[in-house]
Amino acid sequence: MIQQVSPSDPVRLDRAVQEVSSGTHDPVTKAQFDTLQGAMAACDVAPEGIDPPSMIGALFTHLMPHIRNPSVLLPEQRRTILKRLEARATARGDSAPIVPGGVDSLRHELENLEEFMRNRNGLIGG
């Protein structure tokens, strides 16, 4: 189960991904998070013989985004957030300062997420 974090105690994104990955029972979601963990870990590898980590590793760790609630990484939460964002963006019409194509990109991401959620059971032996 994903631990709820108090708003004053944000978690580094790499640690949040690790927490969500270990707490999910959905094999497709777990595979996504494992891939993401691998990509983030590859950037933070210290060259052999250097201890503590290199300057690049230290900067990577320092610049790592922090999030308040790791559950926003789960597909169901992402869908809710994307739908709210789309509703807000379209409710303002032309008065909203949105990058051209921003709403279209948002809708495309939401469609991809919806398709993933519909088909995820068939993706990994399920």
Confidence tier at 5 by pLDDT (50, 70, 90) = very low
Give the global pTM.
Answer: 0.57
Q: Are residues 5 and 32 in the same domain?
A: yes
Q: Are residues 12 and 66 in the same domain?
A: yes
Cα 126 to the center of its chain, rounded Å: 24
Tell me which of 11 and 57 has the higher pLDDT. Answer: 11
Q: Are residues 78 and 65 in the same domain?
A: no
**pLDDT for the residue 95:** 63
Confidence tier at 51 by pLDDT (50, 70, 90) = low
**pLDDT for the residue 83:** 93
CB atoms within 10 A of CB 33: 22
Q: Which of 14, 10, 21 is nearest to 64 (CA)?
A: 14
Average pLDDT, the chain: 76
Task: Tell me which residue range forms the domain holding 81.
Answer: 74-126
- Write out the DSSP string of 54-112: -HHHHHHHHH--EES-GGGGSHHHHHHHHHHHHHHHHHTGGGS---TTHHHHHHHHHHH
Q: Domains in the chain: how many in total?
A: 2
